[in-house]
Structure 1
């Protein structure tokens, strides 16, 4: 059997890209000896990242060779259903021509909604348009309706649906009526690029950004739901609670998804601009060093129920402060603060400066990571079984 993995997002999307890369490496590892696994990407720059991890990869120029005028027209159409359907048709035909028996979409993708022949596995990372529908990135300009249509169309037709947690699995069953036996709760894992083999020395990285050890680190794109504002609001209170000469430094890394200017404006309004460093999007080989230099990792996001930075903090051995409503993934391996309450964040940021508290959380993080690893191994067994089941059924037709 030949399985074609589809990667349609650029590296700039951050955690979503890293989790997609994890899924690609995972499939090659768990079933690559029994079946042929090939990664396809519609973004040529992704090839270097996939190939450096030892997975066969091919560029899929879905649009083919078009004139400049035709390409401009297509880009406008892509925003409409006719354009999306056309693109999906081209991708499906390319996969069938390459002899693929099964497609595997490792991120949220509307492409399989339009497939007419090829079976597929799909991925659901969250249902935040339902859980936190106030945020414009999942509700404005028809995004809520688009997500609803996508999930109700794509999920029932999938050979298997991989989700990030059992909590999310249950929500999908209730909200979209998907058969539970076709779903697999596959826990996240830290980015493969976080290993020392793929990382640059900490001293060099911190020097590049003008940083010293001991900052609060929040790696996240600048979406409204990432709730950077709560960390900014916590800084004045934290400064009052610490010694006068304490160096309070918050480091934000991540690309701008439309909210960066607002956050910088709020930092000025609150008088904390001098305490905040905005790194922007950083190369993957800098991330381990940025984690290692942190006093603690902070993540005040509203969206979940799972996220990558907690796992990466534990993998590198840094203590974590996390949004309290997302505690299912975390166990007791973090200090928790209400995502709505800046004072709670200030208290947690103060408490984690105690070395004894930090050491305790680091050890609990290691244990939680091991528990998640065990859960993932069980999920991988289920995934292999489902794929082998499909492989037997695929023999029934040409």
Structure 2
């Protein structure tokens, strides 16, 4: 499927040109290295490298220790240059520009406003600044004949116990760009039940929630996301595969049984925001192996779980949605039909009104059909 680090094809079609939906994409994990260097110089930030290519390599190397805590340490650098209106606005604008270049037609950008107050901004001012950058990039895309829609996912850090305050912030901005709520950060030891007041409030406001779960912690974390957090989607959720038992296999078939939690997630079509490269870097799939073809993605897909493909953090994994789809295609032999299924899953799972999700799905299908016809 792939031809180089930059070009990925499916059935002879450039995956970058296909319409895509990005649901799990962290703003502070997608800064351009050159932007970090330039903004860092303005504030006197000590950087581990002063050339963009070297800094990009540093991020990937530092994030590949095989555990989530070390992975998260690298965010100190990116967050440091996002403490001003100027910094937030520029980062958000460039982020959307990179989504457009990646062929994304709908994206949800998640980030934690509480981590961007060191320069004196208020929580509301940070959200406004990010939205301003998003709007600028969308306007530029329209002028260039491209069309993209973006929603903010306002995130609370699960260790900081500010969940209710951040939930209220998200709801205040629900008609000004914010489409959902998330909790992120160190997963083990910080269950969703700690933020129960926030989740109760969000439920009372009919506000959609996704929760990081099943990445650095197991099945109990997923249970908490579903039943304490009322999550409609699981951020990663890859470790739901721990509740799947392979009974036996032969050359053609694998016979499995699902535990009650896995069966619930499958039957209720709870969305899995899987991020293959990131899952390898953080050791989230170490139970199954350390190569892409060890990832339980294909098992979950074949069993009928609502799988989606995501980047998690573009800078930390040196990746794009195009690349993630290409890597999965190489690992599991997926064709254009499979890639379309992943995008339709994502479109159906977006935090948009039903009618708009249906329109997005139609756009995805039309784009894949046009590409297929052109490539035939």
- Per the normalisation by structure 1, the TM-score is 0.31
Computing the radius of gyration from Cα coordinates, the structure with the larger value is 1
- Per the normalisation by structure 2, the TM-score is 0.32
